[in-house]
Amino acid sequence: MPIEIKVPTLGESVTTATVGKWLKQPGEAVKVDEPVVELETDKVSVEVPAPASGRLENHAVKEGDEVEVGAVLATLEAGAAGSAPAAKAAPAAKAEEAKPAAAAAPAAQAPAETDYDVVVIGAGPGGYVCAIRAAQLGFKVACVEQRATLGGTCLNVGCIPSKALLQSSENYHAAGHDFAAHGVVIDSVKLDLARMQARKADIVGANVKGVEYLFKKNGITWLKGHGKVEGTGRLSVDGKPVTAKHIVIASGSNSANLPGIEIDEKVIVTSTGALELSEVPKRLVVIGGGVIGLELGSVWGRLGADVTVVEFLDRLVPGTDNEVASQFQKLLVKQGFKMKLGHKVTKAEKTKKGVVLTVEPSAGGAAETLEADVVLVAVGRTAASKNMGLEEAGIALDKRGRVEVDAHYATNVPGIYAIGDVIAGPMLAHKAEEEGVALAELLAGQAGHVNYDAIPGVIYTWPEVASVGFTEEQLKEKGVAYKIGKFPFMANGRARALGMTDGFVKVLADKQTDRVLGVHIIGPCAGELIAEATMAIEFGASAEDIGRVCHAHPTLSEAVKEAALGADNRAINI
């Protein structure tokens, strides 16, 4: 079917461009990602690429015309032969927020007749969302997944099961420690871990079956097996050849490990094993002070484990606003966490009673030992790019094994794209989802776009921690003059009623323009409250804009309003 080539997103504040020069004429053959037309703005010169190989049908606008973002520039008959073959593949369009371009691609073209328009390798949040959006746009779509269920790491052994256990363990802890203050006296609280784990499994099952239903609803074929890329337009699934006009790599990531530590998912576990423990360990050592380790440490700490965190750096959750991280650490220690910051694990020896860890100061010094029943290795994740034929197919990878892509998620091999954890950027499910939607729309000739300055991050401990935009430290490094508005939950009526007064909201705004640059929250429901701040950054709102919006009373969201007002010293309730 004809594909419309549209004006792409040109930058955060750029809405129009001038058609500079047509590089391809009606009737000519073009290859996927080959430049078709040049656009000019006062900020950037853009070459708009073909979203697929085929024949250019017509020009919808003339050279010199002014066009808006999203306007149709031309139409393309995908797969059709043209009057002359293209000489070589060229770089995709440049944009203000583009990622570093991959190396020049070899000339190649997908077969004229293929099994599918789009094949996505990986059915995690990025992959299955990309597949659904592509199907909605009229493509014939298949998704390759070797797990017995869809949903990837997130739904099966990551985001969803961990949140289920976090909620259950939070309820258990509240029943034993917090309910009495509300006049709800429970004489004895008993833990039924097997039932808690069964509830988690039911939640996971419902979610993965939901994705399977969405595949059927949207006519997406599930190719069950191991996917391997062969080259432009070609892949295999468990050795069986499959052809596609567009191949999307959405293989996700795997848990990282430390040298010399043998994971058995029983006593030395990754997040996968930590979600399946059949009894509460008396002593849990978490290696790594990041999101995963602190969330799962919270689960087992609430259920009775003695939790010690060993972190190589001298702080928790690197990249988080320093003030928030400091408050976060104090609250976790208050909950019973033991911290060994600025330390590294050099050895892990299994014994009949558990594990003995050798720990040394990161900067050098005397070693000591820690004994644990279970050790959770949570030192980050690595791109899942191995054993997929990527290097053999000539696809460029960076030093960390991530697939290199350009601003349109295209690799250096024509017709092959990548999104999510397997490319650079934060390893977040929602980031992968947004990239999946953007890529599907780009393949359809639309203006798919992701604003990487408006990707929120959440830590689902108690209290929750959520951030979006720049931290104070980043603004200082960039030399940006800023102002701060801060409001504590202790002064929020709803937080007092809930008995959840720890933490604060912090708004960072440009000192001259008042534009919101970053928002950081530690406190109740921070993961929900951050959505308002994310929308503010996405649409270029000022702190005053947030402050002038009527927020329902009494709600936790009023703390966001008050912090925004505080950026101009106008907070009312403090």
Catalytic residues, which ones? 553
Structure tokens at 164: 């289920």
Angle ∠(48,390,220) on CA atoms, nearest 5: 70
430 annotated as belonging to a binding site for a ligand: yes
What is the helix (H) or strand (E) element at residue 136, kind and residue range?
Answer: helix 125-136
527 annotated as belonging to a binding site for a ligand: no
Location of structure tokens 């960039």? 478
390 annotated as belonging to a binding site for a ligand: no
Location of structure tokens 């000539």? 394
295 annotated as belonging to a binding site for a ligand: yes
Determine phi and psi for 197, rounding to 5 degrees: -65, -35
Structure tokens at 380: 């980050």
> What is the spatial distance between Cα 184 and Cα 180, in angstroms, rounded to a whole number?
5
486 annotated as belonging to a binding site for a ligand: no
Instruction: Starting at the earlier edge strand, list the strands of the sheet with 368-372.
Output: 343-350, 355-361, 368-372
Cβ–Cβ under 8 Å, residues 368 and 344: no
336 annotated as belonging to a binding site for a ligand: no
294 annotated as belonging to a binding site for a ligand: yes
540 annotated as belonging to a binding site for a ligand: no
Q: Is the peptide bond before 554 cis (omega within 30 degrees of 0)?
A: yes
Q: What is the DSSP string of 317-385?
A: STTS-HHHHHHHHHHHHHTT-EEEETEEEEEEEE-SSSEEEEEEETTS---EEEEESEEEE-S-EEE--
Please write down the long-range contacts of 332-337, taking CB distance under 8 Å and 24 or more positions apart.
332/294, 332/298, 332/461, 335/298, 335/301, 335/462, 336/301, 336/306, 336/307, 337/297, 337/301, 337/307, 337/308, 337/309
DSSP-derived secondary structure letter, 501: -
490 annotated as belonging to a binding site for a ligand: no
DSSP-derived secondary structure letter, 119: E
Given its phi and psi angles, is residue 355 left (phi above 0), alpha (psi -120 to 50 degrees) or beta? beta
Structure tokens at 294: 């602190």
421 annotated as belonging to a binding site for a ligand: yes
373 annotated as belonging to a binding site for a ligand: no
138 annotated as belonging to a binding site for a ligand: no
Please name the residue ranges forming H helices in 5-77: none
Structure tokens at 275: 């979600």
290 annotated as belonging to a binding site for a ligand: yes
165 annotated as belonging to a binding site for a ligand: no
240 annotated as belonging to a binding site for a ligand: no
CA-nearest of 568, 485, 570, 493 to 524 is 493
> What is the spatial distance between Cα 210 and Cα 125, in angstroms, rounded to a whole number?
13
Tell me how crowded residue 144 is: count the other CB atoms within 10 A of its CB.
Answer: 29
The SS3 of residue 134 is: helix
510 annotated as belonging to a binding site for a ligand: no
Location of structure tokens 């770089």? 91
Tell me how crowded residue 574 is: count the other CB atoms within 10 A of its CB.
Answer: 14
484 annotated as belonging to a binding site for a ligand: no
Please enumerate in sequence order all residues whose Cβ is within 8 A of that of 42, keeping only pairs 6 or more positions apart, or say none: none
The dihedral through the CA atoms of 500, 530, 252, 433 has a sign that is positive
| Residues placed in the known binding site | 163, 227, 288-295, 311, 380, 421, 427-430
| Residues placed in the known binding site for NAD(+) | 288-295, 311, 380
| Residues placed in the known binding site for FAD | 163, 227, 421, 427-430
